[in-house]
Amino acid sequence: MADMDDDELLEALGVEVAPLKVSGRTPREERIIAGFEDILRFHQAHGRPPLHGEDRDIFERLYAVRLDQIRKLPEAQTLLAELDTPGLLAHSSGMTISDADDLDEDALLAELGVSNESVENDITQLRNVRAYQERRAAEEIADRAKCTDFEQFEHLFQTVQRELKSGVRKTISLETRTLDEIQKGTFFIVGGQIVYVAEERGEFTTQYNRRDMRLRVIYDNGTESDVLQRSLQRALHRDKVARLITEPAAGPLFGESAEPDDIESGTIYVLQSLSKHPFVAEHRELIHKIGVTGGKVEARIAGAEKDATYLLAGVDIVATYTLHNLNRSRLENIFHRLFGTVQLDLTIEDRFGNPVKPREWFLVPLQVIDEAVQRIRDGSITDVVYDPESARLIGR
């Protein structure tokens, strides 16, 4: 036995010697695989590939950029074939990075979130760790709780989304991100979410003699947080793609150039319901439906008794206003924005027994609707909001 070498000795002891596996992959290939595995984990968690868009979480957008760049790599299909069971490499996201084709290898690897330097045996290299600034931006607005009265704000987010889509509102970059921009009633996009400043809870001076304010902030996912004005300011500053959502603009409601939803002439009509529903009967003088039509109002409301939109009851026309060269969708959006807080919350069953929640019915006095129409005509509608407590339009 003394004459046996190591292999013979191990064989005599019944120990199988398996050859050491050598990766055979370059550091670049290892980094591409690691980057793609992050994307696969995102797909597993959300059931879809990461997408571009200002309304997306910042890290989803980074993954979307990374996936676009991996798709451009000539070796990706072969290298990642076994991993790509969802087929992520075979489908384009439909979005492109304007200068992606001009990136050299170093810039391309930077887009993938890796360095071109060799990282073999480098235990000081941190991977998949968010930068301190990114973590702090998230932490500034991370202390959230469920918004128990979110139903009071949900329609606001729906209206904002609708107005952004129609062009009534726009998003603009925040160059200065001053405290004056952060006030009650303002909407932002930060961290991929729409944020609404619902309340201002008292201004005070800090120990460093700087003004600050406690805010109640509502998020479009149904959560809220109690944050300092300066904390929100820092979150907006650290999120380089944070946006301010502008106030809705009335124009061009009336103008010389035609748009797809323009009508040459039309009528704003105000209806009162003849429904015998207990709540409607009790508040009949206050409940009004506001609509816009390009035809005759009488034709529009024909058969109201069979239409859940009209509360399955007859209606009285209490006011009409004739307008010219107007954009119907923008006009309707203005009414929903102005009176959204007093929209009728009533669910009824249609004639087939299906629950229906009619829109365009509001708890607002007729004289206030009349004033709103006059302000639409003179362009001052964006200067006011509706105050339910005093039942009147007040300055912003």
State the Cα–Cα distance between residues 96 and 137, nearest whole angstrom. 26
Task: Please tell me the predicted confidence (pLDDT) of residue 302.
Answer: 86
Concatenated DSSP letters of 21-85: P-----HHHHHHHHHHHHHHHHHHHHSS----STTS-HHHHHHHHHHHHHHH-TTHHHHTTTT-T
Task: Please tell me the predicted confidence (pLDDT) of residue 94.
Answer: 46
The segments of the chain whose pLDDT lies below 50 read 20-22, 93-142, 250-252, 254-259, 261-262
> First-to-last CA distance in the chain?
97
How many residues does the structure list for the chain?
A: 396
- Nearest to 164, CA basis, from 329, 47, 21, 321: 329
Task: Please tell me the predicted confidence (pLDDT) of residue 82.
Answer: 84
CA-CA-CA-CA torsion for 264, 267, 268, 272, nearest 10 degrees?
-160
CB contact set of 364 (below 8 Å; sequence gap of 6+): 286, 288, 339, 342, 386, 391
State the Cα–Cα distance between residues 32 and 336, nearest whole angstrom. 49
State the Cα–Cα distance between residues 132 and 148, nearest whole angstrom. 32
